[in-house]
Amino acid sequence: MTQSLGGTFTFPGTSLTVRRMGYGAMQLAGPGVFGPPRDHDEAVAVLREAIASGVDHIDTSDFYGPHVVNKLIKEALHPFPKNLVIVSKLGAKRGADASWNPAFSPEELESAARDNLRHLGIDALDIVNLRIMGDVHAPQEGSIADKVEIMANLQRKGLIKHIGLSNVTSKQVAEARSIVPIVCVQNFYNVANRNDDPLVDEMAAAGIAFVPFFPLGGFFPLQTEALATVATKLGATQLQVAQAWLLQRAPNMLLIPGTSSRGHLRENLASAELKLPADALDQLNVIAAQAKH
C-alpha cells in the first residue's frame, strides 16, 4: 500500500482510527440496491482490492439487497482485519417491491441490528448510523429522541459499540448528543450540494466525522463544466476532483465513494493523492452557487 489514502481520523471518544478515504458498499447490490450483484465475482474482488489498497472503513447496511451486501462483505473479507471499521445503518426495511419503509420500533431496530451481526458474522457492530427518513434525501426537523433512546439501549445491550446519525439536522444532532455520544453524521453532501456547509463546520468543531452520502452525486454521478475545466488542467477525472474537493473541505470529512468496479475503485482511491490549488477551489465554489439558482 503506497497511498496515504487521505490521512487518518479518529472517531471521537473511541479507539477507532480510519483512513479518510473509505469505501461505500451500497453499489454492490443489484439494480435499485435490490437483489444480487450483476457480477458477483467482481463485487468480491472490489471489496478485497479495497482492503488490499489500505481502505479500513466500509459503509454498509443490511437493507442493501436486503442482506446481499453484508453477506458479500462477509464472503470477501471474513475474518475481518483487526483495523477494519464497518459502519452500518438502521431505520428501514425493504419491501418485496424494493421499497424502503421506515422501521424504528424497538423490535424492528433490534432485529435489524441482529440481522447485521448475523450476516456480517460478528458479535458487535463498530458504528451504526440511525437513518432518519425525513424527506428521502433531505432531513426534516422533528424530535428523534425516542429513536435515539432505542439505539442507546442497543448499545447498552452490547450489539452496537458507537452511534452515528444519518439524514439529520443540526438540532437533531444536538438532541441526540444530549442522550448519547454521537461519533459521525452521514448526510447528502458533495461539491454541488452544499446545503450542509454549516453542519460540516459545526461537526468539525465538535470533532465528529461528517461522512457524506452521494459524494460523487449518487446514481447520476456529477458532471459539470467547472469540474471538467479543473480536471483537464490537473490531468484528473471530474469525479477525482470532486473527491479531492471533499477531502480538502474539512479534516473531519470521511469519504465512502461507492462503486461496483475495480477500475473505478482505483480511480477513486487515487484521488486521495490529488491536491487542488486555490484557484481550482475558487472555480469549484461556482458549482454550488449555480446549483442554488
Ligand X SMILES: NC(=O)c1ccc[n+]([C@@H]2O[C@H](COP(=O)([O-])OP(=O)(O)OC[C@H]3O[C@@H](n4cnc5c(N)ncnc54)[C@H](OP(=O)(O)O)[C@@H]3O)[C@@H](O)[C@H]2O)c1
User: Which residues participate in catalysis according to the annotation?
Assistant: 64
Q: Least distance to ligand X from the beta carbon of 217, Å?
A: 5
Nearer to ligand X, 15 or 229 (CB): 229
Nearer to ligand X, 243 or 283 (CB): 243
Q: Least distance to ligand X from the beta carbon of 239, Å?
A: 5
Q: Least distance to ligand X from the beta carbon of 218, Å?
A: 4
Q: Compute CA distances 67 → 161, 222, 255, whole Å.
A: 21, 28, 23
Distance CA 266, CA 91 (A): 32
Closest CA to 108 of 69, 65, 154, 145: 154
Distance CA 283, CA 274 (A): 16
Nearer to ligand X, 162 or 279 (CB): 162
Nearer to ligand X, 228 or 279 (CB): 228
How many CB atoms lie under 10 A from the CB of residue 174? 13
C-beta separation of 25 from 73 below 8 A: yes
H or E stretch covering 93 = strand 92-94
Q: Least distance to ligand X from the beta carbon of 224, Å?
A: 14
In sequence order, the β-bridge partners of residue 147 are: none
C-beta separation of 20 from 254 below 8 A: yes
Distance CA 226, CA 216 (A): 15
Q: Compute CA distances 54 → 23, 71, 241, whole Å.
A: 11, 21, 20
Residues that bind ligand X (CB under 6 A): 24-27, 59, 89, 131, 166-167, 186, 213-219, 221, 239, 256-261, 264, 267-268
Shortest-Cβ-distance residue relative to ligand X: 258
Q: Least distance to ligand X from the beta carbon of 15, Å?
A: 23
Residue with cell 458477483: 40
C-beta separation of 25 from 58 below 8 A: yes
Distance CA 102, CA 113 (A): 15
Nearer to ligand X, 140 or 156 (CB): 140
Q: Least distance to ligand X from the beta carbon of 136, Å?
A: 8
Nearer to ligand X, 142 or 279 (CB): 142
Burial of 99 (0-12, 13-18, 19+ CB in 10 A): exposed
In sequence order, the β-bridge partners of residue 201 are: none
